[in-house]
Amino acid sequence: MVSYSLESAAEPFGKRLGTYLRWSVVLTLWFLLTYGGTNWLASMRHNLFHIYFQWELAIPFVPWMIWAYLSLQVFFMLPLLVLNSAGLSRFGEALALATLIAAAIHLVLPAELGWARPAVVPGYPIFQRFFSFDRPHNLVPSLHVAYSGLTCMVVWNATSAGLVRYIAALWLGLLICSVSLVHQHHLADIASGLVLAAICFQWFRRGTM
């Protein structure tokens, strides 16, 4: 068995950080290409799907949860603490796979958000910048949830440290709640995002055998 956990395979932090940064660049470019491309294609279509229940539209809009939503970028750093460079590379590959699968589904199921986006959110100018580049069509599955779920599963699997595990689990719960409370995703998006995370995590684990 090849171990990706630092508990059994310590190595210099600089080596892990270098691997992490290289994958960050690659995955950012891959995301912009796939997510941006599928969103652009969906924006030109008229047969958009409505994949939500009407009662979901009563879920309140909670502006301050945008900070929880955006904390995914920090959450991504947890694997750096518990994986060696080989594990980080495998994690990067798993994220790339999740992005590819989601892009394929987004092409087949371009969706329309049930909530109307506000033109202005008082006290939160960040929403205007956020809405300017994020079009609400790549909904099912939620990549935000898929990335969050996969990160949590990898961290939980890589360490026996209870504190790290519970921080990851609680943070995941906050991230999942945030995608709905800032009106970015519906329940079907969340559920399918978790399924995608589980699939990619199983692929990740096969590389450790």
Paired strand residues for 5? 83
Q: Which amino acid is at 142?
A: S
Q: Which residue has the higher pLDDT, 90 or 10?
A: 90
Answer yes or no: is pLDDT of 67 > 60: yes
Answer yes or no: is pLDDT of 126 > 60: yes
- CB neighbour burial string for 105-143, b if at least 16 within 10 angstroms, e if fewer: bbeebbbebbbeeeeebeeeeebeebeeeeebbbbbbbb
Confidence at residue 184, expressed as pLDDT on a 0 to 100 scale: 93
Answer yes or no: is pLDDT of 104 > 90: yes
Q: What is the dihedral of CA 190, 196, 197, 202, to 10 degrees?
A: 150
Answer yes or no: is pLDDT of 101 > 80: yes
Over the Cα atoms of the chain, what is R_g?
18
Answer yes or no: is pLDDT of 17 > 90: yes
pLDDT, the chain, mean: 91
Confidence at residue 40, expressed as pLDDT on a 0 to 100 scale: 86
Mean pLDDT of 39-57: 89
Across 65-79, 129-143, 191-205, least confident range: 129-143
Whether the predicted model's global pTM rises above the 0.75 cut: yes
Answer yes or no: is pLDDT of 208 > 60: no
* DSSP state for residue 119 in the 8-state scheme: S
Confidence at residue 209, expressed as pLDDT on a 0 to 100 scale: 47
Confidence at residue 2, expressed as pLDDT on a 0 to 100 scale: 45
pLDDT band at 27 (very low <50, low <70, confident <90, very high): very high
Shortest CA distance to 6 belongs to which of 207, 201, 155, 200? 155
